[in-house]
Structures are given as structure tokens and as C-alpha cells.
């Protein structure tokens, strides 16, 4: 790797005073690397550094990205059900007839709230795990 840095030359560097990446003039070199630079903006001299201190950044390496969508649903779930009277939750059944914003109690998914009526026999319910599509008004079990 070849670089053309030399004292007196310009270089993009992090200014510790301006707290910005700005063009600096190289004041002193150590071997092939700039050691000391002068900010062209504030004329302050400081040690050369390319970026703000990375120590503060490397700490957080939590891979929480893929759960973001789920978390959004969960937050909505919590806010929708906060203050709601869960004792009025209707037992879910495929033969049931539910309305928007109705609180339902599903044997497997738990407490949920009806987000929307997709079709007369299909509803979208938000559970703690996220939204799910469920059937309603299904009478085909008994009649054809
Ligand atoms: Zn500066």
C-alpha cells in the first residue's frame, strides 16, 4: 500500500475541536503515517485520527435487528391492550363473528385484538407474537 502523505500536505482527518471530518494540513509524519495535523478550519493542532474514538461504538454488538419487526408489533400490541378490560375478551372460534378492535382470547395464541376485517370470514388479529390471519364465520363444519 502506497500513500503520498507528507508534511505540509492536505489530509482528511477528524478534528477533535470541530468534531467534524475536515481537511487538515499534515504537520508531522511518523514513518509513513501522519502523526500531527492542523485543522484548516479552526487552525488547531492535534494528533491525527481518522474517525471519532471507536471505543464507544464497539461495545454494542447486539444482533437485535431481525427482531425489530416483531418488536414493533409487540409494542403496538402492548399499547393497544394497555388499559383494556381483558375480562371481556371473547373466546376465539372459527364460527365466531368478530369486530374490529374486539379483544379475543385464543386457546393457543392468547389474548389478541382484531386489527382488521379482511373479508367477512377472514380477520387479522394482533397477538403478542405478531399479527395473524384467522378465520371467522365458518359454518362449513356442520352444513355444506
Ligand atoms: Zn478544527
Q: What is the mean pLDDT of residues 97-111?
A: 95
Residue 21 Cα to ligand 1 midpoint, Å, equals 9
Cell of 70: 416483531
Residue 24 Cα to ligand 1 midpoint, Å, equals 8
Residue 85 lies in a domain: yes
Residue 47 lies in a domain: yes
pLDDT at 72 over 90: no
Q: How much of the chain exceeds pLDDT 90, in percent?
A: 59
Residue 111 lies in a domain: yes
Residue 126 lies in a domain: yes
Distance CA 5, CA 24 (A): 12
pLDDT at 12 over 90: yes
Residue 31 lies in a domain: yes
Domain co-membership, 46 together with 79: no
Residue 57 Cα to ligand 1 midpoint, Å, equals 22
Residue 118 lies in a domain: yes
Domain co-membership, 72 together with 131: yes
pLDDT-derived band at 1 (thresholds 50, 70, 90) equals very low
- For position 25, what pLDDT does the model report? 97
Asked whether 51 and 36 are in contact (CB, 8 A), the reply is no
Domain co-membership, 47 together with 73: no
Domain co-membership, 74 together with 129: yes
pLDDT tens column, 15-70 = 989 999 999 999 999 988 899 999 999 999 999 998 776 554 554 555 555 556 66
pLDDT at 144 over 50: no
Residue 20 lies in a domain: yes
Domain co-membership, 121 together with 91: yes
Residue 97 lies in a domain: yes
Domain co-membership, 42 together with 101: no
- For position 63, what pLDDT does the model report? 54
Residue 55 Cα to ligand 1 midpoint, Å, equals 21
Number of structural domains (the chain) is 2
* Residue bearing cell 427482531: 67
Question: Domain of 18?
Answer: 10-52
pLDDT at 2 over 60: no
Amino acid at each position: 500500500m502506497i500513500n503520498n502523505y507528507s508534511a505540509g500536505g492536505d489530509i482528511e482527518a477528524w478534528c477533535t475541536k470541530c468534531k467534524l471530518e475536515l481537511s487538515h494540513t499534515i504537520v508531522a509524519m511518523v514513518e509513513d503515517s501522519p502523526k500531527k495535523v492542523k485543522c484548516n478550519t479552526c487552525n488547531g493542532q492535534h494528533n491525527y485520527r481518522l474517525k471519532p474514538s471507536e471505543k464507544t461504538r464497539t461495545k454494542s454488538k447486539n444482533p437485535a435487528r431481525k427482531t425489530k419487526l416483531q418488536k414493533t408489533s409487540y409494542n403496538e400490541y402492548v399499547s393497544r391492550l394497555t388499559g383494556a378490560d381483558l375480562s371481556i375478551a371473547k373466546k376465539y372460534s372459527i364460527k365466531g363473528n368478530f369486530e374490529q378492535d374486539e379483544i379475543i382470547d385464543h386457546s393457543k395464541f392468547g389474548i389478541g385484538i382484531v386489527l382488521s376485517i379482511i373479508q367477512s370470514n377472514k380477520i387479522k388479529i394482533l397477538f403478542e407474537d405478531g399479527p395473524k390471519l384467522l378465520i371467522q364465520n365458518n359454518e362449513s363444519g356442520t352444513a355444506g
